[in-house]
Amino acid sequence: MITVLKFGGTSVGSAEAIARSAKIIANGEGGRVAVVSAMSGVTNHLIQFLETDGASADDALSILIKKHTDAAAALLDGKLLKEFTKEFNERVDRLRELLNSGNAGDAYFRDNISSQGERFSSLLLSYVLMSMGRESIALTSEEAGIYATGPPGLGTADLQRTSAGLMMNVRPLIMRNVIPVITGFYGRDGDGRPITFGRGGSDYSAAVVANGLDADCLEIWTDVDGFMSADPRIVPGAIMIDEMNFGEAAELAYLGAKVLHPRTIEPVRTKHIPLKVRNSFKPEHQGTLIHHLRSPKNEMLRSVAMKADLSIITVSSAEIAYRPKMVAGIIDKIADAGVIVYAISTSLSTVALLIHNLDVKETLRHLNLLDPADIERIDVKSNMALICAVGDDLLRKCGVSAEIFGAVRDAGANVELISEGASDVSLNFVVPTDKAISVVRSLHTKFVGE
């Protein structure tokens, strides 16, 4: 049995947190593989260096060095502390050379720098495991064989090549009862350059490792108990969801729930690898189990999430529905802008797209490159929020939409845009931001409870 365990920045953010996470790893049964984020705050500090003119390498390294050496002094002693310090200092020297040699404007250099924190947290966690009597080794993504394709900052794992690399470099260690501790957040491209998977991408890294090793389970250890029926900051009576299927978890992660990185689901779903979300600060809690099976419960609604700070951009053109190349051109311009579209709706003469407020300016710049003769006008409606109502096989249940929108009416909100039918497990719609919390509470009260 092989279990892949991922620990986020807060789960390795201090000496106490690292000790707790190491204990979780060491006390488990079967083969264990850990995937780790950087210590909390380290990646942001490195990115700040990249964005600050005239910043020195020593300034960039100061927080990184202090956080790791303080934790090491509290957790290690004797020979292990000496060995860790030697290897740590060697890595610091290499990073200092890198910081002094690159161009902050180069996207590959930026990915290289922003992925450095994981190289130090994995080293420290590995030594702490050794202090507990477990044999362990720290591996970078390059050493483990995690390959990525795509542009810097938006990489995607090459699952086939990664599987071959992991089977060759990592699986033999597991078979010898060694615990590999692997850097999350990035892979290497064909030229050996680090390509990051986007902020929060260590969850995805862990899923990629689980996929490549044909693991029996993936555990995401974080600082929350699991998926909830709603954000407890909005709905104090929100309850834990014990289990859910991959489709439900994917929709919630993509459209608002800050429990998993949205891309985590697909690598494990393709191989039916169960995923558990657990709280490293409350290891006695079982968390949420996510799998490919349908829920034994027959709840109409499992959870309600919301994503605020959105805008609807509406492009109007005469009989646009009969001009497929025109629609394709609009989508191409959005793609050129590198903008994520959260929902899309069309009518005879309009295409409406839901994007983040921060992307409006860039989106308009690209849309204005369209032939003016083809466009009647472009409108922007800001201060919108996307509501995601999730339930197993939700849209196959007769009358569910009417009941959901009845609750929206009770909250005094108008629906500005609807996305229905794209997924069997969710109904997504847009309401004004100032009504969004009332809508979430109304839906939760009606379908889940106070």
- pLDDT, residue 278, reads 96
- pLDDT, residue 206, reads 98
Contact 420/401 with Cβ under 8 angstroms? yes
Cα–Cα distance measured from residue 299 to residue 319, given in angstroms and rounded to the nearest whole number = 42
Contact 123/84 with Cβ under 8 angstroms? yes
Cα–Cα distance measured from residue 106 to residue 391, given in angstroms and rounded to the nearest whole number = 44
Element (H, E) at 181: strand 179-183
Cα–Cα distance measured from residue 94 to residue 99, given in angstroms and rounded to the nearest whole number = 9
Give Cβ neighbours of residue 183 (< 8 Å, ≥ 6 apart). 35, 36, 115, 118, 119, 122, 139, 140, 141, 144, 205
Phi and psi at residue 264, in whole multiples of 5°?
-65, -35
Angle between helices 57-75 and 15-26 in degrees, nearest 10: 60
Contact 305/444 with Cβ under 8 angstroms? no
Closest CA to 117 of 12, 57, 199, 38: 38
Question: Coil, helix or strand for 10?
Answer: helix
Contact 212/162 with Cβ under 8 angstroms? yes
Question: Coil, helix or strand for 261?
Answer: coil
Cα–Cα distance measured from residue 445 to residue 439, given in angstroms and rounded to the nearest whole number = 10
**The two structure tokens encoding residue 423:** 């997924």
- pLDDT, residue 254, reads 81
- pLDDT, residue 310, reads 96
- pLDDT, residue 393, reads 65
Give Cβ neighbours of residue 148 (< 8 Å, ≥ 6 apart). 155, 156, 157, 158, 186, 187, 188, 189, 195, 197
Element (H, E) at 210: helix 202-212
For the entire predicted model, the pTM comes to 0.89
Element (H, E) at 353: strand 350-356
> 110-164 pLDDT, tens per residue?
999 999 999 999 999 999 999 999 999 999 999 999 999 999 999 999 999 999 9
- pLDDT, residue 256, reads 61
Strands 417-419 and 377-390: unpaired
Cα–Cα distance measured from residue 12 to residue 222, given in angstroms and rounded to the nearest whole number = 10
- pLDDT, residue 447, reads 87
- pLDDT, residue 419, reads 77
Strands 303-316 and 343-346: unpaired
User: What 8-state DSSP symbol labels residue 340?
Assistant: P
Closest CA to 274 of 265, 283, 282: 265
Cα–Cα distance measured from residue 126 to residue 134, given in angstroms and rounded to the nearest whole number = 9
Dihedral sign computed on CA atoms, order 431, 435, 436, 438: negative
User: What 8-state DSSP symbol labels residue 147?
Assistant: B
Give Cβ neighbours of residue 338 (< 8 Å, ≥ 6 apart). 154, 362
Q: Where are the alpha helices (DSSP H) in 223-351?
A: 246-254, 265-269, 324-336
Question: Coil, helix or strand for 321?
Answer: helix
**The two structure tokens encoding residue 256:** 């608002």
Closest CA to 290 of 309, 308, 266: 266
Widest distance between CA atoms in the chain: 77
- pLDDT one digit per residue (tens) for the chain, 450 residues: 999 999 999 999 999 999 999 999 999 889 999 999 999 999 999 998 888 887 788 888 999 999 999 999 999 999 999 999 999 999 999 999 999 887 878 999 999 999 999 999 999 999 999 999 999 999 999 999 999 999 999 999 999 999 999 999 999 999 999 999 999 999 999 999 999 998 889 999 999 999 999 999 999 999 989 999 999 889 998 999 999 999 889 888 887 667 888 899 999 999 999 999 999 999 999 999 999 876 556 567 889 999 999 999 999 988 787 888 888 889 999 988 889 899 898 888 999 999 999 999 999 999 999 888 888 999 999 999 999 988 876 666 667 888 899 999 999 999 999 976 556 788 899 999 999 999 999 999 998 876
